Amino acid sequence: MNEGADKGAGVGIVMLVHTAFDRAEQVARHWAASGCPIVFHVDRAVPTKAYNAFVRSLSDLPDIRFVGRHRCEWGTWGLVAATQAASEVMLRDFPNVRHVYLASGACLPLRPVQELIDYLAERPTTDFIESATTADVPWTIGGLDEERFTLRFPFSWRRNRYLFDKYVEFQRRIGFKRKIPNGIVPHMGSQWWCLTRQTLSAILEDPDRKVYDSYFRRVWIPDESYFQTLARLYSRRIESRSLTLSKFDYQGKPHIFYDDHLQLLRRSDCFVARKIWPFADRLYQAFLTDQDGAMKRTEPNPGKIDRIFSKAVERRTRGRPGLYMQSRFPAPGREINLTCAPYSVFEGFSDLFENFETWLARMTGARVHGHLFAPERAEFSDGQTVMNGALSDSAKLRDYNKWAFLTNLIWNTRGERQCFQIGPRDHIKGIEWNIAMDPNAQISVISGAWAIPLFKSNENFSEIRNKAAFLQHTERKHLDTLRSEWSKARIRIWTLAEFIEAPMEPLQTIIDEIGKHNQTGLAEVPKMADLTGFGQFLQNLKNQGMHPYLMGDFPVAQDQNEPQHTKPKPYLVR
Amino acid sequence: MSVWQSYIMRLRRRRAHIRAYRKHFALNPVRERTEKIRPGDILLFSTFRNEHVRLPYFLDYYRKLGVAHFLMVDNDSDDGGREFLTGQPDVSLWTTRASYKRSRFGVDWLNWLQRRYGHGHWTLVADPDELFVYPFCDTRPIRALTDWLDVSGVRSFGAMLLDMYPKGRIDAVPYSQGQDPIEIAAWFDPGNYMIERNPSYWNLWIQGGPRARVFFSGQPKKAPALNKIPLVKWDRRYAYVSSAHTLLPRGLNLTYDQWGGERASGVLLHTKFLDTFTTKAQEELERRQHYSGSVEYKAYAENIRDNPELWCNWSEKYINWRQLEILGLMSKGNWA
């Protein structure tokens, strides 16, 4: 036995290297400085010249070995074969090693190596290997979990994705299932483990190893299941977690750590982190300078970093709903919420009530706009010409891309409820459907209320008649849209007649839905337009051959005989 | 149908290459240092005309981000910019007196240079008034980004143009050489961008910002395109078809997610609106070398005279990339 092994740290490092040799060397020296023997496996894809240079660069270290090179493609057996070969050499050549730590060239020890040695020395029979049954893990890259173990995977996922997928599909169709040997229970977990000599040698010297090897050779991503499964057969004590901090994104690629993660890694308390960007000078400098004592001696807890990386994955897969931008542009129908926040659309209210907008703003604290899609300009609240986000009130700009206009407005004002008016005069063609299908929209309609401004106007009756016909036609088509089976907005439609019969209840409901205070009922009501003579006005339209029906039934006689009846009802105010 | 379309696109790509070949004869090397380019270097390609005042900061900015070599085409400058660049050790410079317009606004020249020198490199295309901002650009060099893109199997990276402008008159504060232009043009429009998908090239067509708001509110369709794909792992088969807006093959234009997720993206801070702009606009109007009859410059000239202020109450002052991310103008995607 040579000198290093006698000194014997008790922990041996198996290091898989395929790139960034200068960093691998740096880390190797760091391990070696604490007396850890190292067995290297270098990917066969590495050119001989680079390999030889790497071997030479480490030639001054005493306790290192290099093993025969396998081709280590992601998700293939080569990685397991490499690990086996290196582990065998480790166990054979360094008898003092009690724990074997599997690491890669892009791994960086975060805490002083001595701490790891001590930590493992205190737990001489514990295997640290993440190992869970397929049913219990959420990682299913490529939609495969249990099938990893029951199908065959002769084609590379990276290089022959088409064949890979087709072959999987084919096997599913014909109901192919591989037999799992000896009734072992497949387990999966992080490929970076730390096993005891006892467990590791039991796996490697298993009389059935040939059977297992030939089975796992055709399992998909065996490096995440071979040792994880077999360790269950022999381990006396498994701690199902990895001592290596390693985060994976939604494609199964490891997240990479950079200089700006320094503080994050300091807090991680893990022994080793991967993967480190080879040019992250500050990280290498901070963690490889000897035992600076800055690290706390606490139980490793990789959970702290989880949040930041799971958020990154979520941003990539779900994004920010309702945001349309250069790298997020969901195709129609692929998103449920079409906007980023709830908003309210009112149709007919500002025709019926003289001060509806100011009233609504007072009652709800929401931002209440006029007719955002008015033909002349976007009527922003308070007469503003530019709104949040530098959104212009120009009708041409707005009409150029109405949906962008609306989604921008809702996005720019997130945190503040937006309300706006719509009427049959407005330019909403093309976005009607989007609004109706948006669960964020709360749409309240008083149908036929557009007749009130006509009723009040001073135009020639023939003009009024034409306008009324046009507006009614437009609104009817709009109502059809709202009533369609596809609409997902919260939609309430009253006829004008219905509404003025009992206005308090609907108003209360709408306000309640917008939320915020007002539990005690409406303290104040909007002022309703004076509708004396409205019934006659409608009758006149009828007499001209135009049939107004969207406002419901307004008896003509009523206001001739009992005019006081159609005056605004006195509301009950509490 | 789609086979036919692919074929058409292939022809267009071919045509772009042929154009690039034809136009490259007009490029005269002033100082070629391309032998200094090492494998894996990040290269920047740019055309310019009379931008001497901006060049020192431009070089400085991109050197700090880790650009290893600049390949620049000077379009007949007479302000000393060419001489300045000749003295820079990491710049290869070509000059030409040929028409900017007839080289399709420099695309042909750069396509040629990229095809010739960019193969296998990450290449960045940016004008001297464009500053590239990407997630973590304050702590990580471009190399970190491109390495990550490589690992993720991503070949192209989108960065929309964000027009920056000063508060007050555009010509109120003079820009001095070497200065960070963002110190003056510190403001931008945070949320008025309009996006459409281009069905034939698959890229997004983005318009909006102060130019649409002030200069083109009457004819929004003519507002300049803001979508750009400036960072590409170049292959000699690739070609830009119009400035840095559109690439072929079309797959490179898919820098956005269509399922609701966010891909990583950046921003090109466009510092065109400095005091130099007023004279530049006049000059460009006379030269008529810009897109669709220089309609852009006509609109500028008309508006600039009476209302040279782009700033409004809802303008946002630039802080850093994180601010742009929060505003939804760019995204980290799954880069953490």
**For A532-541, how does the pLDDT look when each residue is reduced to its tens digit (9 = 90+)?**
889 999 999 9
Residue B332 lies in a domain: no
Tell me if A204 sits within 8 A of A83, measured CB to CB. Answer: no
Q: Which two tokens stand for residue B206?
A: 């983005």
B317, closest residue in chain A (CA to CA): A389
Inter-chain residue contact B261 with A325, CB threshold 8 Å: no
Whole-angstrom distance, CA of residue A503 vs CA of residue A266: 63
Residues in A touching B219 (Cβ below 8 Å): 396
Give B188-225 as a DSSP string: E--S-EEEEE-TTT--EEEEEHHIIIIISTT-GGGSPP
Q: Which of A154, A165, A166 is nearest to A218 (CA)?
A: A154
Tell me if A364 sits within 8 A of A417, measured CB to CB. Answer: yes
Residue ranges making up the domain that contains B185: 2-327
Residues in A touching B189 (Cβ below 8 Å): 389-390
Closest partner CB to A313 (pick from B259, B329, B334):
B334
Residue A292 predicted with pLDDT over 60: no
CA dihedral B173, B174, B177, B183 (to 10 degrees): 10
A82 or A309, higher pLDDT:
A82
Collapsing DSSP to helix, strand or coil, B76 comes out as coil
Q: Is B312 on the interface with A (CB under 8 A)?
A: yes
Q: Is B335 on the interface with A (CB under 8 A)?
A: yes
pLDDT band of B304, cuts 50, 70, 90: low
Whole-angstrom distance, CA of residue A234 vs CA of residue A232: 6
How many contacts (CB atoms, under 8 Å) link A and B?
A: 174
Residue A403 predicted with pLDDT over 90: yes
Q: Which amino acid is at B127?
A: D
To the nearest whole angstrom, how far is the Cα of A423 from the nearest Cα of chain B? 24
* Range with the poorest average pLDDT among A242-256, A410-424, B22-36: A242-256
Residue A489 predicted with pLDDT over 60: yes
Q: Which of B151, B132, B152 is nearest to B142 (CA)?
A: B132
Residue A414 predicted with pLDDT over 90: yes
- Rounded to two decimals, the pTM is 0.90
ipTM entry: 0.94
In this prediction, residue B256 carries a pLDDT of 96
pLDDT digits (tens, 9 = 90+) for A65-124: 999 898 988 878 999 999 999 999 999 999 999 999 999 999 999 888 998 999 999 999
pLDDT band of A145, cuts 50, 70, 90: confident
Inter-chain residue contact B314 with A313, CB threshold 8 Å: no
Closest partner CB to B261 (pick from A258, A316, A401):
A316
Q: What does residue B19 show for φ and ψ, rounded to 5 degrees?
A: -60, -45
In Å, what is the CA distance from A310 to each residue of A317, A487, B10, B259?
A: 10, 33, 40, 18
Residue B287 predicted with pLDDT over 70: yes
Q: Which of A408, A362, A371 is nearest to A387 (CA)?
A: A408
> Given the DSSP bridges, would you call strands B239-242 and B246-248 parallel, antiparallel or unpaired?
antiparallel
In this prediction, residue A424 carries a pLDDT of 94
Collapsing DSSP to helix, strand or coil, B45 comes out as strand
Alpha-helical (H) ranges within A47-160 are 48-57, 78-93, 113-121, 147-150
CATH class of the domain defined by A343-566: alpha beta
A176 or A49, higher pLDDT:
A49
Please identify among residues 105-144 of chain B the ones whose CB lies closer than 8 Å to any CB of chain A.
136, 139-141, 143-144
Residues in A touching B148 (Cβ below 8 Å): 256
To the nearest whole angstrom, how far is the Cα of B223 from the nearest Cα of chain A? 10
Best mutation target among B195, B214, B267, B316 (most A Cβ atoms within 10 Å) is B195
Collapsing DSSP to helix, strand or coil, A380 comes out as coil
To the nearest whole angstrom, how far is the Cα of B211 from the nearest Cα of chain A? 12
Q: Which of A23, A221, A48 is nearest to A103 (CA)?
A: A23
Closest partner CB to B260 (pick from A277, A335, A392):
A335
- The dihedral built from the CA positions of residue A191, A196, A202 and A204, taken in this order, carries a sign that is positive
To the nearest whole angstrom, how far is the Cα of A87 from the nearest Cα of chain B? 28
Best mutation target among B138, B161, B317, B334 (most A Cβ atoms within 10 Å) is B334
Span(s) in chain A for CATH 3.40.50: 343-566
Inter-chain residue contact B263 with A328, CB threshold 8 Å: yes
In this prediction, residue B72 carries a pLDDT of 96
Query: Which residue(s) pair with A196 in the sheet?
Result: A99
Residue A164 predicted with pLDDT over 90: no
| Fold observed for domain A3-122+243-317 | Spore Coat Polysaccharide Biosynthesis Protein SpsA; Chain A (3.90.550)
Span(s) in chain A for CATH 3.90.550: 3-122+243-317
pLDDT digits (tens, 9 = 90+) for A181-198: 888 888 988 889 999 999
State the average pLDDT over residues B241-255. Answer: 92
Residue B120 lies in a domain: yes
Burial of B224 (0-12, 13-18, 19+ CB in 10 A): buried
B159, closest residue in chain A (CA to CA): A326
Q: Which two tokens stand for residue A191?
A: 């490929």
Q: Which of B268, B266, B271, B260 is nearest to B322 (CA)?
A: B266
Residue B333 lies in a domain: no
To the nearest whole angstrom, how far is the Cα of B205 from the nearest Cα of chain A? 9
Best mutation target among B262, B315, B330 (most A Cβ atoms within 10 Å) is B262
A326, closest residue in chain B (CA to CA): B256
Residue A563 predicted with pLDDT over 50: no
Residue B71 lies in a domain: yes
Whole-angstrom distance, CA of residue A91 vs CA of residue A5: 11
A318, closest residue in chain B (CA to CA): B261
Residue B306 lies in a domain: yes
Closest partner CB to B217 (pick from A396, A401, A404):
A396
CA dihedral A539, A544, A550, A554 (to 10 degrees): 0
B254, closest residue in chain A (CA to CA): A327
Residue B335 lies in a domain: no
Mean pLDDT (chain A, rounded): 87
Count CA within 13 A, CB hemisphere, residue B191: 24
Please tell me the total count of domains within chain B: 1
Inter-chain residue contact B257 with A329, CB threshold 8 Å: yes
